[in-house]
A = this chain, B = another copy of it.
């Protein structure tokens, strides 16, 4: 399993992904699931992947090769985000098929993957897409300003309650960390470290790229402080009718 979340606010985009892959409970590894394609001043893209690791690694290698060798099409040629999403989707479908052939004989193997893909092309607004195994894509919107792949349920309520287009970019990033932390706590197949990228609108390069481990002071601080702050928030909620106003401990 995996958990990745992408958030689109007015100030830009936040991407956050865990790094745990597992073939079984006793076969657990760390692999990067968040990949940056940066062409400063022209365009910057971020891809996060859930699903078959061979498929997604093949996809990333092909995206890098196509751009490096200036093949047609490639990410640097793209003029619109929806075209970039369609190109990545087509390459995803092809990579899934290629990995099926490679793994011929293992009939039960699922080579599918689901992606979150976002970024900004010079002259365009930033864009954030979820790309399905069939290659089709949907975009985030002001009403649905975040997209999730993998184990999405534990980390959804905090996003629903906090994130709106007006949320500051750093507050969206803190919310993404909380969403990851909730998920890591409840699903063993989602694990540290956490990769995070912030793309500030119109900078056309990666503003901040971070990796959080259990020892990262900021992550540890957030992890440890959050329960205390939630307790204070719960204690400050309305009283039940039978509670005297002065019954606070």
Binding site for B on A (CB under 8 A): 153-158, 160-162, 168, 170-171, 173-175, 178, 182, 185-186, 208, 210, 218, 221-222, 225-227, 229-243, 247, 249
Contact = CB atoms under 8 A, between A and B. Distances in A.
A237 B233 contact: no
A208 to B, nearest CB: 7
B233 A229 contact: yes
25 contacts: A153-B154, A154-B154, A156-B186, A157-B158, A157-B182, A160-B182, A161-B227, A161-B230, A161-B231, A162-B227, A162-B230, A170-B239, A170-B240, A170-B247, A174-B237, A175-B234, A208-B242, A210-B240, A218-B241, A221-B238, A225-B237, A226-B233, A229-B237, A232-B233, A233-B233
Nearest to A168: B249
B185 A226 contact: no
Interface centre among A160, A221, A234, A237 (most CB of B within 10 A): A234
A247 B169 CA distance: 12
Number of copies: 2
Contacts of A226: 161, 233, 237
A157 B186 contact: yes
Contacts of A227: 161-162
Contacts of A233: 226, 229-230, 232-233
A123 B156 CA distance: 43
Contacts of A232: 233
Given A170-B243, A210-B240, A221-B237, 15 more contacts: A153-B186, A154-B157, A155-B157, A160-B182, A161-B226, A161-B230, A161-B231, A170-B239, A170-B240, A170-B247, A171-B231, A178-B234, A208-B242, A225-B237, A233-B233
Given A170-B243, A233-B233, A160 B175 contact: no
Contacts of A240: 170, 173, 208, 210, 218
Contacts of A174: 234, 237
